[in-house]
Chain A
Amino acid sequence: MLSQFHINAVYVIAAILFILGLKLLSKPKTARTGNLLSALGMLVAIAITLLSKEIVDWTTIIVCLAIGSVIGVLASRLVALTAMPQMVAVFNGLGGGASMLVAWVALFGSADRFVAVAVILSIVIGGVTFAGSGIAWGKLSAVLASKPLLFLGQRFINAALFVVLIVCAVLFVLEPAPTSYYLYAIIGIALMLGILTVLPIGGADMPVVISLLNSYSGLAACAAGLAIDNVILIVSGALVGAAGIILTNIMCKAMNRSLANVLFSGFGAQKSATKVEGQANPITPEDAYLILEAANSVAFVPGYGMAVAQAQHVVHELGTLLETRGTDVTYAIHPVAGRMPGHMNVLLAEANVSYDQLLEMEDINPKMNAIDVAVVIGANDVVNPAAREDDASPIYGMPIINVDAAKTVFVLKRSLASGFSGVDNPLFFNSNTRMLFGDAKQSISALITEFKD
């Protein structure tokens, strides 16, 4: 029979595989191998656990593993890549929910104070992750409005809930039991806090929320590990928690905002920036074609609108057409473009755009004045010069892609309406900007037709 020592030894191997996997995931060439190594680590950890003598009832386990695997395989195969943000949200939520349940079951054993505290941590973090991810899923899949939802006394309610949570937690730890009413109250409050903290956060701030929930799902697993005294949960959970926090921080920096500001300010609800007046210059696809044809260098700058219009394939087609004519084509990606970290990169990868053509903001900006045409596709706030120039603007200080420095800027947009943040965009009224109104996919297709004729 396997002793706990043997099991822990195998857990160390699994942890090494996770660490190697994450390391390889950080380079495009080795990323796929990294993910496989990490999956191997998971397999090893699960296999050794199944061999442990603590497991006596196999029926439940086999049935549940089968159900979960079928759902997991189907979900990962069937989901469209444009739906990836909500998919990641669902997986985060399920991980958090599972950790919450694992911690709850830990109470059925002999629970001392330390275990009780770890259980509470896991239930609170897991519950917030579960419910918060549910709301994030709703907002990302447009089941719920993506606008920030603010109501009177919201902060007061959150604060009050938090106080009640602390009181219940203290009372629970004094007398831990798996069917304690304090425990039920804590579970209920954790779920409500998850809902209430994500509801006020708007669509464009979703990259921060998704990476934060990702971090939480790791922390919940880590706390569950403390509750059941399991090393592999503690190590892997902490790794994921730390990784998620790093990513969250990168997203916050890319918006020049603090995490607290993203979480609590209901950004986009306030509008105070300087009103922009002026005349926008519309352009027809025919004229746009003539300018593009003469260009030596073109940079595409995609945003969430490209995902909505599903325009990534036609964008690549246009890019390839330009390249065959000798034009230098690049894609400039803002770190928070889209609804999750790296959203645009995944979509363009799906459309077969080589990743070495994708430039990060810091790399494209110094070269922008040498670009003949910058084509903005469904991006708004991330190219808004007001972030650089208008210190009254709510997005002032946010680093942007300086498309206005290019010789000509095409903006593909349905109308002159302001972006998610509700901030007017002076870019639209610049003398070197041409507005190509209409659905992004149709506009690009029209340009492709011009090139082919």
Chain B
Amino acid sequence: MEIVFLALILVLAIFLGFELISKVPATLHTPLMSGANAISGITLVGALLAAGSGSETQELATWLGAGAVVFATINVVGGYLVTDRMLGLFKQRSKPTENDG
């Protein structure tokens, strides 16, 4: 793909990231961080392509790809589950005035 387009996508994504995160309450800082960390496990997509491209002549590449898949999978699976576990703990007191909640 053209470098200009890649750069454009990059810049827009960075601005979007700033916009999305700037108003998060302190209570959610940890889940936000671990949730964002799970997203950075997207590198698993690259790892799958690296491990599965079946280059028999380049055994090193397959091994490196395999390592990347293991690392990234732990990051993704562990990251999402632990974030969910933490968020499950955050409770709001049920107030008597709120009948719907």
- Chain A interface (Cβ within 8 Å of chain B)? 18-19, 21-23, 25-29, 31-32, 34-36, 38-39, 42, 45-46, 49-50, 52, 54-58, 60-61, 63-65, 67-69, 71-73, 75-77, 79, 81, 84, 87-88, 91-92, 94-95, 97-99, 101-102, 104-106, 108, 114, 178-179, 210-211, 214, 217-218, 220-222, 224-226, 228-247, 250, 333, 335, 340-343, 345-346, 349-350, 352, 354-358, 360
Least CB distance, B6 to chain A, in whole angstroms: 6
User: Contacts A101-B71, A221-B42: A88 and B89 contacting too (C-beta < 8 A)?
Assistant: no
Given contacts A67-B73, A230-B46, A246-B21, contact A57 B39 (CB under 8 A): no
Chain A residue at minimal CB-CB distance from B20: A22
Question: How long is the Cα–Cα vector from A61 to B61 in the complex, in angstroms?
Answer: 13
Contacts A26-B20, A73-B81; A243 near B43 (Cβ below 8 A):
no
Find out whether the CB atom of B21 lies under 8 angstroms from the CB atom of A22.
yes
Q: Is the CB of A342 within 8 A of B30?
A: yes
- A356-B93 contact in complex given A230-B46, A246-B22, C-beta closer than 8 Å: yes
Can you list 29 A-B contacts (CB < 8 A)?
A18-B42, A22-B21, A26-B32, A28-B90, A35-B80, A45-B42, A46-B76, A57-B62, A61-B48, A64-B73, A71-B74, A76-B85, A81-B86, A87-B34, A99-B46, A217-B40, A231-B9, A235-B9, A236-B40, A237-B13, A247-B33, A335-B29, A345-B27, A345-B29, A346-B86, A349-B89, A350-B89, A352-B91, A360-B26
B66–A56 CB distance below 8 A: no
Contact of A75 among B40, B48, B67, B74 (CB under 8 A): B74
Q: Establish whether residues B10 and A222, one from each chain, have CB atoms under 8 Å apart when the complex forms.
A: yes
B 43-58 contacts with A by CB, 8 A: 43-55, 58
In the complex, which of the residues B20, B50, B75 contacts A243, with contact meaning CB atoms closer than 8 Å?
B20
**Distance, CA A65 to CA B71, complexed state (A):** 9
A33: nearest chain-B partner, CB-CB: B87
User: Which of A19, A68, A102, A342 makes the CB contact (< 8 A) with B31?
Assistant: A342
- Whether A242 touches B39, Cβ cut-off 8 Å, given contacts A68-B70, A98-B68, is no
Q: Which A residues are CB-close (under 8 A) to B13? A: 222, 234-239, 242
In the assembled complex, the CB of A93 is this many whole angstroms from the nearest CB of chain B, namely 9
Determine whether the beta carbon of A220 is less than 8 Å from that of B45.
Answer: no
Among B45, B55, B58, B73, which residue has the most Cβ atoms of chain A within 10 A? B45
* Interchain CB contact under 8 A, A98 and B41: yes
Chain A residue, CB-CB nearest to B30 = A342
Answer whether residue B96 sits at the interface, using C-beta atoms and an 8 A cutoff. Answer: no
Question: If the complex has contacts A75-B82, A234-B6, A354-B91, are A105 and B50 also in contact, measured as CB distance less than 8 A?
Answer: yes
A65 to B66, CA, bound (A): 9
Give the CA-CA distance A64 to B20 in the complex, in Å.
Answer: 33
A56 to chain B, nearest CB (A): 4
Query: Would A28 and B84 count as touching, CB distance under 8 A?
Result: no
- B24 cross-chain contacts in A, Cβ below 8 A: 25-26
